[in-house]
C-alpha cells in the first residue's frame, strides 16, 4: 500500500512545471505554511533554519554547484552516446517505438554529444506516437511547451494547446497511469477554462461512443478506459474546488462510475481495463473502508493485475510485482518477482523496472541470486532509460553505483567516481536520498580535496529539509556534531547553541532511523561487514558448487540412493542447477520418490511447486497452477501435513501463515477437522468399519493434533493449558496406537511447552519413534546428544569424558539416520562429528559439507549450518590452486547468511590481513569485519577478533592513523581474558594456542616463555571434541611452537 500512498501524495503537487522531476524532497516555504497543524518537527526545523545564512533556494543553488563540480560530464555523455547508437542501430532492423521515444528524449534534453535538437526530437516523438507509445504523448506536450518558452511568447493560446494535447494526455493517464499527465490535467482543469472545456468535451465524445455501441471492440474499450479516468479526474477536481482545497486526496473517493467503465473495458478483453480496475481499487479502499460503493479484497486486485499481465500489459507486471503476496515463501517470491520484471523489461525497459532488477541482483537475500556485475549493468542501463511514470519515481541507480565505487563492491574502489554518481542523483534529478548524505560525508571526511567543510554543511542543511525517512535525521545528526566544534568557530555555520536542536530532531523526532548511517554504531558496522562480504563472494565458485553437488548426487543414485538422494535431485531439477535441466515434471517425480521414503522437505517443496491464478502465479514458474485458491489449498494442506507427520517443524509455520492470511485455508482446516473428528467419534462408539485399523486411527489422531496446533497457533505458542491439553490428548492417543509420528509430536510438544515431565522420559519416547525409523525423531535425538555433548566437554572428569564418548556413538547413529532423510543440518554435523571424521578422508568431509548447503544457499532451509567449516577446510586442507579464494568465498557466504556468526568474519579478516586474497581496502575491511564480530558477543571468536585488532594497531610499518599502541594493548588484554575464559570451550586448542602466542611475543603483556610453553602444552593435550580438523590444525600449531621454543630458535623470538 506504500506505493498508492506515495502516488496520492504525488497528486497533491499540482505544479506542472515540476511533473517530470522527482517528488520534491524539501518543505515548501510558502506564506500559508503557518496554517498547517502544529508539528513539533517542523517547529524545531524552523527554529534551526532561521539561524542559517542561506534560504532554501540559495541552498538549492549551492548544492547544485557542488554537484556539478563532482559530475564527470564526459562519463554521462559516453553512456548516452552508447545508448543512442544502440537505438539507432535497432531502428535499422525494426521500427521500435521505445527507441524512437528514447531518441526523442535524448535530443529534447541534449543528453548526448549531439546536444539539443528539437526538430529531431519532435520527429521521433511523432514516430513513437504513431505506434501509440504512451510516454511520447506527454513528451510531445512537454516539448511543445518548452518551444513556446524559448520563443518568448507573451501569450500562450491555451485553447490551441488543449485541442492539440488534451486527448493525448488523457490517453497517457487512462492507458498507462502516467502520473505526470494526471498531475498536469488536474492542474490545467482547475486553472484554465479552455482546458476544462476541452476535457469536458472529451468526456461527452466518449459518452457518445459507448452509447452507440456500434463501434468495434477496440474503440469501445478505449472509450471505457478514458471515461473511467475522466470520471475520476473531474470528480476529484470538482471536490477540491468545492472544499477550497481543504480536502486531501485520501478523503476523496473514486466514483463508482469509474469502476463501472473499467469493468466494462475488462469484459471486452482489454488488459488496460483490468489494470485500471485493480489500481483504482487499490487507490480507493486501503486508506478508508466504506460499506458502500467499491469494496474489493486484495485477492480481487491480484486477479485483475494477473489478467492484465496474461493479456500482455507490461505495466501491469510492475503493479503485480508490487502487490503480490509475499508470505508464500521467500525464495519463490524472489523468483516470481524476477520473472515478471524481466518479462516487462524485455518489452519496455523502463528505468524503474531496470532499477528494480538491479536492486534484486545487488541486494539479493540469498547469495546464489546475487550478481553484483549484473546489478551494476542494470543500474547503468537505468541511467539512460526513462521511468514508466506509472508510480513514484526512484532514481536509486545513482546511489547504488556510488556505493559500489565508494566501497569497492564488485569493482575497483574509486572515490571520485563514487562522488560523480552521488552528485548525479542531486543534479539534474534533485532526488534527495542517501546519495546526498554519502556525498556530504565524503566531503566532511576530506576525501574530495576540491571541497571544504562549508560544502558538507550546505549539503547537510539542504538534506535536513528532506521528507525522506532517513535523510533528514541523518543530516541533522551530522550538523549537530559539526556546528558546535571549536575548530569551526571561525566558520559561518558555527552555532553551538543550535546543537541540541539538531540532536532533538535526530533522536527524538525520528527515533532510530538515524542509526542506519552512524559510522561506529553496531548497525553500521554490521551493514559495512555485509557489504564487505559481497566483494569476496564468487559467482563462478557457486556455479561449481552445484556442479559438484549434481555430480556426487548422480553417483549416489547409481550406488546407495536414499531419500536424501532423491530430494537433492528434485531440488537441483527444480532450479536447474549444476547441470541438471530445469524440469518441474522431473523434479516432482524425484520429490515423490523422496516422500515415499519419508523425506519431509520433499513434501514441503512439492506443496510449493503448485500455484493458483488468484495469487498471481503463472504456469512458467510452477508444476501446476490451479484456477482458485481452494484447489491449491487442498493439495498444499495434504503435502504439508505429510511433512509434519515426518518431522518437519517448518511446515507447521507455513500452514499457520496460510491460515492467518487466507480465509479459504481457515475453512478447509475446519472442514478437515470435522471429517476427522466424525471418523474418530464413530470409532469410539464402535460404528466404524473394519477398514480403519489402528494404524489409520493413529494417523488421524496425529493429524487432528497438527491441525489444532495450526488453527490455535498463538494459544499453543503461549502454552495455553486447554489448547495444549487438547493437542496432547490426540498425540497421546496416536502414540498409544503405536504411531511413530504421534510419539514424535507428543515429545516435541512437551519440550516446546517446557513440560515438567522428566527429560529422560521424553528422550525415551523419541528413541521409540526413532526405532520405528521416524525421520524427525532421529534428528531431534542428534540435537539432544549434541547439546549434551557440549555440556560434557566443559567438564574434565573421567566419568564425564566416558559419557561424552558414549554420547558420540549415539549421536553418530542418529546423525546417520537423519542424514539419510535429507536433513541438511544432520548431513553437516555428520561431516564434522568426531567419530565420522576419524574414519574418513578430508575429501569425504568436504563433500558432505558441500551437499548439506544446497537448501541453505537457495533459501529453502532456515537452520544455521557450519558454512565456515567448509571455508576452513579449503583454507588449510585443500591442494586447490584457488583454495584461499574458495575459503574467502565460503566465509563470505557464512557471514552473509548467518549474521550472528562471528567465526567467518574473523577468518575472512585474517585471510585479508595475510594478503591471501585481493582487497582494495585491506585494513578497513579487516577492521570492520573484526569490529562487527566483537558486537556479536560470541566470547570464543570475540577473543580472536580482539587479537587481530591488536595485531593491526600494533604494526609500526602501517600509517600513523592506524598505529596505536594503547588500542593494541587494550585489544590484546581483551583477547587474553576472553581466550582464557574459552579454554574449555569448543575452541580449546585455538584458545591455548593464542594464549601461548601472546605470552611468547609479549602481546599486551610482558614476554613469558614459561607460560607460553604451558599454554602450548595444554593445547597439545586438548581433545578434538567438537571439530576434528579444526582442533587438529591448532594442535599441530601448538606442537610446532613447542619445538621452536625447545630448540631455542631465534625465529621463535622474532616472528609473530
| Three cell numbers, residue 821 | 532423510
What pLDDT score does 78 carry?
Answer: 93
Which has the closest alpha carbon to 448: 478, 415, 410, 490?
415
Q: Is the pLDDT of residue 553 over 50?
A: yes
Q: Is residue 973 a contact partner of residue 940, using CB atoms and an 8 Å limit?
A: no
Q: Nearest 5°: CA angle at 886, between 881 and 889?
A: 155
Confidence of residue 835 (pLDDT cuts 50, 70, 90): very low
Which of 249-258, 445-454, 660-669 is least confident?
249-258
What pLDDT score does 315 carry?
Answer: 81
Query: Please, what is the end-to-end C-alpha distance for the chain in angstroms?
Result: 58
Mean pLDDT of the chain: 81
Confidence of residue 447 (pLDDT cuts 50, 70, 90): very high
Q: Is the pLDDT of residue 39 over 50?
A: no
* Interval 560-586 mean pLDDT: 92
**CB-count exposure of residue 447 (10 Å: 0-12, 13-18, 19+):** middle
CA dihedral sign of residues 567, 569, 570, 576: positive
Alpha helices in 853-982 (DSSP H): 854-857, 867-876, 883-897, 903-913, 922-936, 939-954, 965-981
Question: CA–CA separation, 571 vs 586, rounded Å?
Answer: 10
SS3 591: helix
Element (H, E) at 72: none
Which has the closest alpha carbon to 280: 563, 600, 4?
4
What pLDDT score does 440 carry?
Answer: 94
SS3 26: strand
For 227-263, write each residue's pLDDT tens digit: 999 999 999 999 888 877 666 666 788 899 999 999 9
Q: Is residue 564 a contact partner of residue 827, using CB atoms and an 8 Å limit?
A: yes
Question: CA–CA separation, 738 vs 701, rounded Å?
Answer: 12
What pLDDT score does 525 carry?
Answer: 61
Q: Is the pLDDT of residue 9 over 70?
A: no
> Taking the model in full, what pTM does it have?
0.77
Q: Is the pLDDT of residue 728 over 70?
A: yes
| Three cell numbers, residue 599 | 523425506
Which of 124-138, 454-468, 966-980 is least confident?
454-468
The rounded radius of gyration (Å) of the Cα atoms in the chain is 33
SS (H, E, C) 617-677: CCHHHCCEEECCHHHHHHHHHHHHHHHHHCCCCHHHHHHHHHHHHCHHHHHHHHHHHHHHH
For 479-530, write each residue's pLDDT tens digit: 988 998 989 988 988 888 888 888 877 765 444 433 433 344 555 666 677 7
Which has the closest alpha carbon to 833: 812, 847, 818, 813?
812
| Three cell numbers, residue 871 | 571455508
Which of 264-268, 672-676, 884-888, 1026-1030 is least confident?
1026-1030
Of 3-7, 62-66, 1024-1028, which one has max mean pLDDT? 62-66
Task: Name every residue whose Cβ is closer than 8 Å to that of residue 204 and which is 6 or more positions away in sequence.
Answer: none
Pairing of strands 610-612, 624-626: parallel
What pLDDT score does 6 carry?
Answer: 39
Question: CA–CA separation, 168 vs 183, rounded Å?
Answer: 14
Confidence of residue 651 (pLDDT cuts 50, 70, 90): very high
Question: CA–CA separation, 860 vs 335, rounded Å?
Answer: 13
Which has the closest alpha carbon to 577: 897, 853, 359?
853
What pLDDT score does 56 carry?
Answer: 73
How many DSSP H helices and E strands does the chain contain? 53, 2
| Three cell numbers, residue 33 | 505554511
Q: Which residue has the higher pLDDT, 451 or 856?
A: 451
Question: CA–CA separation, 1030 vs 1040, rounded Å?
Answer: 16
Q: Which residue has the higher pLDDT, 643 or 393?
A: 643
What pLDDT score does 353 carry?
Answer: 86
Q: Is the pLDDT of residue 752 over 90?
A: no
Confidence of residue 25 (pLDDT cuts 50, 70, 90): very low
Q: Is residue 1056 a contact partner of residue 951, using CB atoms and an 8 Å limit?
A: yes
What pLDDT score does 141 carry?
Answer: 94
Q: Nearest 5°: CA angle at 160, between 157 and 163?
A: 145
Q: Which residue has the higher pLDDT, 521 or 1001?
A: 1001
Task: Name every residue whose Cβ is closer than 8 Å to that of residue 670 and which is 6 or more positions away in sequence.
Answer: 711
Amino acid at each position: 500500500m506504500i506505493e498508492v500512498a506515495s502516488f496520492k501524495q504525488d497528486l497533491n503537487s499540482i505544479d506542472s512545471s515540476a511533473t517530470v522531476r522527482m517528488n520534491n524532497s524539501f518543505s515548501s516555504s510558502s506564506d500559508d505554511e503557518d496554517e498547517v497543524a502544529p508539528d513539533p518537527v517542523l517547529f524545531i526545523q524552523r527554529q534551526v533554519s532561521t539561524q542559517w545564512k542561506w534560504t532554501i533556494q540559495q541552498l538549492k543553488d549551492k548544492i547544485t554547484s557542488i554537484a556539478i563540480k563532482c559530475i564527470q560530464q564526459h562519463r554521462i555523455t559516453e553512456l548516452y552516446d552508447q545508448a543512442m547508437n544502440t537505438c539507432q542501430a535497432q531502428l535499422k532492423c525494426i521500427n521500435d517505438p521505445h527507441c524512437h521515444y528514447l531518441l526523442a528524449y535524448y535530443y529534447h534534453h541534449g543528453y548526448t554529444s549531439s546536444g539539443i535538437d528539437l526538430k529531431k526530437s519532435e520527429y521521433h516523438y511523432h514516430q513513437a506516437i504513431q505506434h501509440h507509445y504512451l510516454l511520447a504523448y506527454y513528451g510531445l506536450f512537454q516539448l511543445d511547451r518548452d518551444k513556446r518558452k524559448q520563443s518568448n511568447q507573451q501569450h500562450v493560446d491555451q485553447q490551441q494547446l488543449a485541442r492539440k494535447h488534451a486527448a493525448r494526455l488523457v490517453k497517457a493517464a487512462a492507458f498507462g497511469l502516467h502520473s505526470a499527465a494526471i498531475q498536469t490535467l488536474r492542474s490545467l482543469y482547475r486553472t484554465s477554462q479552455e482546458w476544462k472545456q476541452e476535457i469536458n468535451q472529451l468526456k461527452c465524445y466518449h459518452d457518445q461512443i459507448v452509447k452507440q455501441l456500434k463501434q468495434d471492440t477496440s474503440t469501445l474499450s478505449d472509450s471505457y478506459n478514458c471515461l473511467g479516468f475522466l470520471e475520476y479526474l473531474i470528480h476529484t477536481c470538482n471536490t477540491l474546488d468545492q472544499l477550497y482545497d481543504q480536502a486531501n486526496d485520501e478523503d476523496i473517493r473514486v466514483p463508482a462510475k469509474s469502476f463501472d467503465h473499467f469493468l466494462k473495458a475488462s469484459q471486452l478483453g482489454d488488459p488496460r481495463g483490468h489494470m485500471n480496475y485493480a489500481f483504482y481499487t487499490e487507490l480507493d479502499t486501503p486508506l478508508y473502508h466504506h460499506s458502500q460503493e467499491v469494496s474489493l479484497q486484495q485477492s480481487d486486485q491480484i486477479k485483475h493485475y494477473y489478467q492484465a499481465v496474461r493479456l500482455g500489459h507490461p505495466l501491469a507486471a510492475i503493479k503485480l510485482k508490487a502487490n503480490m503476496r509475499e508470505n508464500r515463501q521467500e525464495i519463490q517470491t524472489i523468483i516470481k518477482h524476477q520473472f515478471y520484471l524481466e518479462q516487462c523489461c524485455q518489452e519496455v525497459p523502463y528505468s524503474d523496472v531496470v532499477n528494480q532488477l538491479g536492486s534484486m541482483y545487488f541486494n539479493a537475500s540469498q547469495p546464489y541470486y546475487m550478481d553484483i556485475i549484473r546489478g551494476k549493468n542494470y543500474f547503468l542501463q537505468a541511467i539512460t532509460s526513462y521511468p514508466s511514470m506509472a508510480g513514484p519515481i526512484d532514481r536509486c541507480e545513482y546511489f547504488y553505483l556510488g556505493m559500489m565505487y565508494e566501497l569497492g563492491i564488485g569493482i575497483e574502489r574509486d572515490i571520485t567516481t563514487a562522488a560523480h554518481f552521488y552528485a548525479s542523483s542531486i543534479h539534474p534529478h534533485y532526488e534527495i536520498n542517501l546519495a546526498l548524505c554519502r556525498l556530504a560525508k565524503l566531503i566532511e571526511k576530506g576525501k574530495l580535496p576540491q571541497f571544504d567543510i562549508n560544502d558538507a554543511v550546505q549539503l547537510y542543511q539542504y538534506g535536513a529539509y528532506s521528507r525522506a525517512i532517513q535523510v533528514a535525521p541523518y543530516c541533522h545528526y551530522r550538523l549537530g556534531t559539526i556546528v558546535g566544534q571549536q575548530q569551526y568557530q571561525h566558520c559561518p555555520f558555527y552555532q553551538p547553541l543550535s546543537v541540541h536542536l539538531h540532536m532533538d530532531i535526530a533522536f527524538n523526532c525520528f527515533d532510530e532511523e538515524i542509526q542506519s548511517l552512524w559510522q561506529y554504531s553496531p548497525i553500521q558496522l554490521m551493514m559495512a561487514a555485509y557489504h564487505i562480504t559481497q566483494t569476496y563472494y564468487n559467482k563462478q565458485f557457486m556455479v561449481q558448487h552445484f556442479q559438484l553437488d549434481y555430480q556426487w548426487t548422480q553417483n549416489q543414485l547409481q550406488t546407495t540412493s536414499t531419500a536424501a538422494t532423491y530430494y537433492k535431485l528434485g531440488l537441483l531439477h527444480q532450479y536447474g542447477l549444476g547441470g541438471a535441466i530445469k524440469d518441474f515434471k522431473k523434479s516432482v517425480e524425484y520429490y515423490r520418490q523422496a516422500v515415499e521414503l519419508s523425506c519431509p522437505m520433499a513434501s514441503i517443496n512439492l506443496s510449493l511447486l503448485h500455484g493458483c491464478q488468484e495469487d498471481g502465479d503463472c504456469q512458467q514458474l510452477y508444476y501446476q497452477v490451479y484456477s482458485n485458491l481452494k484447489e491449491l489449498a487442498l493439495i498444499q494442506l495434504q503435502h504439508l501435513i505429510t511433512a509434519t507427520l515426518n518431522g518437519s517443524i517448518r511446515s507447521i509455520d507455513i500452514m499457520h501463515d496460510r491460515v492467518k492470511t487466507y480465509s479459504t485455508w481457515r475453512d478447509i482446516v475446519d472442514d478437515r477437522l470435522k471429517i476427522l473428528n466424525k471418523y474418530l467419534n464413530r470409532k469410539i462408539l464402535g460404528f466404524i468399519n473394519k477398514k480403519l485399523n489402528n494404524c489409520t486411527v493413529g494417523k488421524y489422531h496425529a493429524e487432528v493434533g497438527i491441525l489444532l496446533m495450526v488453527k490455535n497457533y498463538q494459544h499453543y505458542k503461549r502454552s495455553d493449558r486447554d489448547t495444549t491439553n487438547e493437542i496432547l490428548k490426540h498425540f497421546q492417543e496416536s502414540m498409544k496406537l503405536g504411531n511413530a509420528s504421534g510419539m514424535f509430536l507428543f515429545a516435541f510438544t512437551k519440550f516446546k511447552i517446557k513440560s515438567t515431565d522428566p527429560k529422560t522420559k521424553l528422550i525415551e519416547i523419541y528413541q521409540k519413534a526413532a526405532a520405528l525409523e521416524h525421520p524427525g525423531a532421529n534428528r531431534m535425538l542428534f540435537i539432544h546428544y549434541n547439546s549434551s555433548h557440549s555440556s560434557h566437554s566443559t567438564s574434565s572428569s573421567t566419568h564425564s569424558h566416558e559419557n561424552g564418548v558414549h554420547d558420540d556413538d549415539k549421536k553418530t547413529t542418529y546423525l546417520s539416520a537423519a542424514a539419510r532423510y535429507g536433513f541438511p543440518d544432520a548431513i553437516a554435523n555428520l561431516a564434522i562429528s568426531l567419530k565420522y571424521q576419524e574414519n574418513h578422508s578430508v575429501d569425504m568431509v568436504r563433500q558432505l559439507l558441500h551437499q548439506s548447503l544446497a537448501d541453505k544457499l537457495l533459501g529453502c532451509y532456515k537452520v544455521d549450518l557450519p558454512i565456515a567449516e567448509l571455508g576452513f577446510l579449503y583454507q588449510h586442507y585443500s591442494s586447490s590452486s584457488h583454495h584461499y579464494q574458495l575459503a574467502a568465498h565460503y566465509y563470505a557466504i557464512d557471514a552473509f547468511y548467518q549474521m550472528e556468526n562471528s567465526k567467518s568474519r574473523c577468518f575472512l579478516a585474517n585471510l585479508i590481513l595475510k594478503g591471501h586474497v585481493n582487497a582494495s581496502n585491506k585494513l578497513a575491511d579487516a577492521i570492520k569485519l573484526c569490529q562487527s564480530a566483537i558486537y556479536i558477543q560470541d566470547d570464543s571468536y570475540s577473543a580472536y577478533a580482539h587479537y587481530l585488532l591488536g595485531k593491526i594497531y600494533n604494526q609500526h610499518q602501517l600509517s600513523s592513523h592506524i598505529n596505536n599502541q594503547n588500542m593494541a594493548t587494550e585489544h590484546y588484554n581483551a583477547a587474553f581474558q576472553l581466550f582464557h575464559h574459552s579454554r574449555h570451550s569448543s575452541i580449546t586448542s585455538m584458545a591455548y594456542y593464542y594464549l601461548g602466542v601472546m605470552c611468547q611475543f609479549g602481546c599486551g603483556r610482558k614476554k613469558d616463555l614459561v607460560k607460553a610453553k604451558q599454554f602450548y602444552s595444554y593445547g597439545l593435550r586438548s581433545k578434538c571434541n567438537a571439530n576434528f580438523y579444526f582442533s587438529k590444525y591448532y594442535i599441530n600449531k601448538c606442537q610446532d611452537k613447542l619445538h621452536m621454543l625447545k630448540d631455542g630458535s631465534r625465529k621463535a623470538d622474532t616472528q609473530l
